[in-house]
Amino acid sequence: MTETTTAGEAFLADFRSMSTFGATLGGGVERQAATVADGQTRNWFRGLVEGHGFEVRYDVVGNQFALLELAPGAPFIALGSHLDSQPLGGRFDGAYGVLAGAHAGIRLKERIEASGETPTFNIAVVNWFNEEGCRFKPSMMGSSVFTGELPAEHALATTDPQGVSVATALEAIGTHGDFTLDVAAYVEIHIEQGRSLEDDGLTIGLVESTWGANKYEFVVHGEQAHTGATVISDRHDALLGAAELVVAARDIANRFSTDEYMVITSCSELNVFPNSPVVVASRVNLLVDVRSTDPDVLAAADAELHHRVAKIEQSANVRIERGAEHVWAAKAYDAAGMELAAASADALGLSHGVVRTLAGHDSTNMKDIVPTIMLFVPSAEGISHNEREFTNDADMLAGVDLLTEVTRRILDGEFVQR
Amino acid sequence: MTETTTAGEAFLADFRSMSTFGATLGGGVERQAATVADGQTRNWFRGLVEGHGFEVRYDVVGNQFALLELAPGAPFIALGSHLDSQPLGGRFDGAYGVLAGAHAGIRLKERIEASGETPTFNIAVVNWFNEEGCRFKPSMMGSSVFTGELPAEHALATTDPQGVSVATALEAIGTHGDFTLDVAAYVEIHIEQGRSLEDDGLTIGLVESTWGANKYEFVVHGEQAHTGATVISDRHDALLGAAELVVAARDIANRFSTDEYMVITSCSELNVFPNSPVVVASRVNLLVDVRSTDPDVLAAADAELHHRVAKIEQSANVRIERGAEHVWAAKAYDAAGMELAAASADALGLSHGVVRTLAGHDSTNMKDIVPTIMLFVPSAEGISHNEREFTNDADMLAGVDLLTEVTRRILDGEFVQR
């Protein structure tokens, strides 16, 4: 089913080379945004695509655009994802999609040059800055700035836990500029990071919609005291309040999920101050997020979370402040795009099904400004954000073939008009 | 009631000078063990006591001994506490007792020189290394090595979160040596860090016994996964397990405390890995301690804690490993010492009462090897390990007077025989 053995082997060879940047002992990668390892990966990617005739440009927030000018003056079809990773993350998440975009572009360039015809659009392969949001919050930072959801100056002033700003970090790795892209449509391919394709024995997922997600930064305020000498009734223990909130969030996921609609809650980042073995915590900062496929269920779960926060303030004798919030409403992808992708998969003989994405992706932002198609390939056991993340070679190559075919049809005017 | 206005003023002036080392904006100090601020405080203290004729020596783990040789060749009566502090700690905790010891020594030296008599013992004022245990665990490290409860090589090899060992940190501040002290008795004065003296309107607390304390380092093992894409049933969330343990510990304190016996549980240090907003935690390290005045109640509460740990492994779908443990049994102080202290307080017209200490002190170790007296002065509102920790001047001076009188009686042979 793959395009040609040679083209497939070229992709796999490049994928192996790419996976050496920030490689971890456990078979994953660690390339947090604008770190040395992220910079090295970006430079490697630049070298790769320039060798195939792309021109590389950067915008103000460090988004990396590999441009293939096939129709001078025409808008671009953007194929993208991200090269940054989680700490001890997998080597497929994001990186697969960027490299798949590059190889789709390379294959189409060869065909177009061979045919002598001029397509309707140009191709840009995009490596969005800081999709992961672990070093700098929020996630999907680059695409949020690109689509106007986040002011660039706000993103550039964001600091990591060591106080280094995005502006300083981008300066350090030297990959920022002032480019702007005239984009007509967006296509992203990504590993599923869930197990529905694997469970259903499918090769391709056509993403129908995103989940709605409400993410909150909470600050639990207690009072610093001696853990030995301070009796329980005198305590204002910020860590107890935070722990009750973590437990409540899981309880809400269990209570509000039904056979029809799922609710997922998470707290995975929590910092205790002063974090000493003998000092009752004066403050805990934590992130809690609530996601659901259904807006009404999400609203109900969110209301319950806020109700619980008020109750915990009483039970734990603390004050809970709600800081920044990031809210993404559940949204559908373009129906015509799903039809085009399904037809493309059928033409290639690839099995496919409709899926929802629980995770956020840069396409979540892009679909707000241009017609967007989001494609998945399977993740073994659904494991992701983990060094053991895995997608087999056949599935990766099937995805590259599909992305190539989908992009070919878009260049031919089947999805958006110029 | 104070010795003389001049002696009292001298103490208060020195106390103010001492409080400038590691001073924080909120009126406290931050002098974690073997940091630059701890080293500066030690050097200041050395200069102070050398100016009054003391000789300063250090032992292998950095305990600082200020020696006043009044009876050449005789054993020493040690007066001590600690100059290190918690992060954003108070300026009284520990430091008050060390300075009170120095001033008691200075006053007694003057009297003995005026009288021309030779006392039965010498005086050593001790600044125990790392009583707080926040940078290097466990707490009471210096006195634990001195009393043989902790091997020196084990203490010296202990590392802080940045991987710096005690040996390296002591080398950096230059305050370690090979001195050993021949000690006959130990007296420590400290702020209460509780509110019982204040509530009862008393100036002096005679400490009858320590609480029993079991401290555990737990490691909750989960599995790294994507917070967005991983459904609840697939999660092994180490932070959920840790949060359930924090909540369970408080519940045990509430359930096992009675009118007669109190149980106190704490968790104040908790570290999440990888601590990223979108990665289910793979591991959480946390410390949990259980304290009680009664050994049987403590044993029952401890058994319940371990029962809950096993239950949480099921409910949170995690594995919980118990790492290091530190167990201190509840123990009584010397009854004759309490009587001597009560008689001394009566002679000075100071109100006093019997108290227990919930917190650990270096005297908890010292009483295992020599007759030991532990004295408290009041803490305003019981606030401690907090920049707002406060003891008023009159209470501080009453404590110095009492420590002087108690030590005078010990030098006269009223407590221990040579």
Using DSSP, state whether A97 is helix, strand or coil.
helix
The rounded distance, in Å, linking the Cα atoms of B287 and B274 is 18
Q: How many helices (H) and strands (E) does chain B have?
A: 12, 15
The rounded distance, in Å, linking the Cα atoms of B376 and B97 is 9
The rounded distance, in Å, linking the Cα atoms of A407 and A119 is 11
- Yes or no, beta carbons of B228 and A358 under 8 Å apart: yes
Other Cβ atoms less than 10 A from the Cβ of A413: the count is 12
Structure tokens at B396: 């501080």
Which distant-in-sequence residues (6+ apart) come within 8 Å of B383 by Cβ?
A225, B90, B389, B390
State the smallest CA–CA distance between residue B21 and chain A in angstroms: 20
How many Cα atoms within 13 Å fall on the side-chain side of residue B296?
3
Q: If one looks up domain A213-328 in CATH, what number appears?
A: 3.30.70.360
Q: Is the pTM of this model over 0.80?
A: no
- Yes or no, beta carbons of B264 and A137 under 8 Å apart: no
Residue type, B198: E
Is the per-residue pLDDT at A180 higher than 50? yes
The rounded distance, in Å, linking the Cα atoms of B139 and A407 is 64
The rounded distance, in Å, linking the Cα atoms of B236 and B247 is 18
Is the per-residue pLDDT at A190 higher than 80? yes
Amino acid A1: pLDDT:
44
Between the two ends of chain B, the Cα-to-Cα distance in Å is 32
A314-332 burial, b if ≥16 CB within 10 A, otherwise e?
eebbbebeeeeebebebee
- Yes or no, beta carbons of B225 and A266 under 8 Å apart: no
The closest CB to that of A268, out of B193, B278, B291, belongs to: B278
Structure tokens at B144: 């634990």
Instruction: Give the residue on B whose Cα is nearest the Cα of A223.
Output: B386
The rounded distance, in Å, linking the Cα atoms of B133 and A228 is 13
For tokens 């409709």, the residue is A354
Amino acid B222: pLDDT:
97
The rounded distance, in Å, linking the Cα atoms of A228 and A277 is 10
pLDDT in tens, A237-267: 999 999 999 999 999 999 999 888 899 999 9
Residue type, A408: R
Is the per-residue pLDDT at B1 higher than 50? no
For tokens 């878009």, the residue is A410
Is the per-residue pLDDT at A379 higher than 60? yes
Which distant-in-sequence residues (6+ apart) come within 8 Å of B94 by Cβ?
B81, B82, B83, B84, B85, B131, B132, B190
State the smallest CA–CA distance between residue A414 and chain B in angstroms: 31
Confidence of residue A294 (pLDDT cuts 50, 70, 90): confident
- Yes or no, beta carbons of A250 and B272 under 8 Å apart: no
Residue type, B332: A
The rounded distance, in Å, linking the Cα atoms of A106 and A123 is 10
The rounded distance, in Å, linking the Cα atoms of A179 and A166 is 17
Site from B82, B267, B268, B286 to mutate, A interface, most A CB atoms within 10 angstroms: B268
State the smallest CA–CA distance between residue B418 and chain A in angstroms: 36
In this structure, what are the phi and psi dihedrals at residue A175, rounded to the nearest 5 degrees? -120, 70
The ranges assigned to domains in chain A are: 5-211+331-411, 213-328
Chain centre to alpha carbon of residue B74 = 28
The stretch A50-63 carries a mean pLDDT of 97
Chain centre to alpha carbon of residue B355 = 16
In this structure, what are the phi and psi dihedrals at residue A106, rounded to the nearest 5 degrees? -60, -45
Is the per-residue pLDDT at B5 higher than 90? no
**Which among A83, A120, A121 has a CA at the least distance from the CA of A101?**
A83
Amino acid B210: pLDDT:
84
Average pLDDT of chain B?
94
The closest CB to that of A87, out of B225, B276, B287, belongs to: B276
The rounded distance, in Å, linking the Cα atoms of B1 and B395 is 10
Chain centre to alpha carbon of residue B349 = 28
State the smallest CA–CA distance between residue A363 and chain B in angstroms: 15
- Yes or no, beta carbons of A226 and B193 under 8 Å apart: yes
Tell me B282's DSSP state. S
Residues of chain B with pLDDT > 70, as a percent, come to 99
DSSP string, A77-92: EEEEE-----TTB-SS
- Yes or no, beta carbons of B359 and A383 under 8 Å apart: no
Phi-psi region of A275 (alpha: psi -120 to 50; beta: other; left: phi over 0): left
State the smallest CA–CA distance between residue B230 and chain A in angstroms: 6
Q: Which H, E and C letters describe chain B, residue by residue?
A: CCCCHHHHHHHHHHHHHHCCCCECCCCCECCCCCCHHHHHHHHHHHHHHHCCCCEEEECCCCCEEEEECCCCCCCEEEEEECCCCCCCECCCCCHHHHHHHHHHHHHHHHHHHHHCCCCCCEEEEEECCCCCCCCCCCCCHHHHHHCCCCCHHHHHHCECCCCCEHHHHHHHHCCCCCCCCCEEEEEEEEECCCCHHHHHCCCEEEEEEECEEEEEEEEEECCCEECCCCCHHHCCCHHHHHHHHHHHHHHHHHHHCCCCCCEEEECCCEEEECCCCCEECCEEEEEEEEEECCHHHHHHHHHHHHHHHHHHHHHCCCEEEEEEEEEECCCECCHHHHHHHHHHHHHHCCCEEEEEECCCCHHHHHCCCCCEEEEEECCHHHCCCCCCCCCCHHHHHHHHHHHHHHHHHHHCCCCCCC
The stretch A334-341 carries a mean pLDDT of 96
| B93, B382 contact by CB (below 8 A) | no
Amino acid B356: pLDDT:
82
Amino acid B4: pLDDT:
55
Using DSSP, state whether B171 is helix, strand or coil.
helix
Is the per-residue pLDDT at B124 higher than 90? yes
- Yes or no, beta carbons of A133 and B223 under 8 Å apart: no
> Counting one residue from A and one from B, how many pairs have CB atoms under 8 Å apart?
244
Structure tokens at B349: 């017209």
Confidence of residue B246 (pLDDT cuts 50, 70, 90): very high
Q: Which fold has domain A5-211+331-411?
A: Aminopeptidase (3.40.630)
pLDDT in tens, B358-371: 788 999 999 999 99
Can you give the C-alpha Rg of chain A in angstroms?
Answer: 23
- Yes or no, beta carbons of B268 and A289 under 8 Å apart: no
How many Cα atoms within 13 Å fall on the side-chain side of residue A257?
15
pLDDT in tens, B166-209: 999 999 998 889 999 999 999 999 999 988 999 999 999 999 98
In this structure, what are the phi and psi dihedrals at residue B220, rounded to the nearest 5 degrees? -95, 120
The closest CB to that of A240, out of B227, B229, B250, belongs to: B250
Tell me which chain A residues have a C-beta less than 8 angstroms from the C-beta of B384: 225-226, 229-230
Residue type, B51: G
| A245, A268 contact by CB (below 8 A) | no
Q: If one looks up domain B212-328 in CATH, what number appears?
A: 3.30.70.360
- Yes or no, beta carbons of B268 and A277 under 8 Å apart: yes
Length of chain A: 418
Confidence of residue A13 (pLDDT cuts 50, 70, 90): very high
The rounded distance, in Å, linking the Cα atoms of B360 and A276 is 15
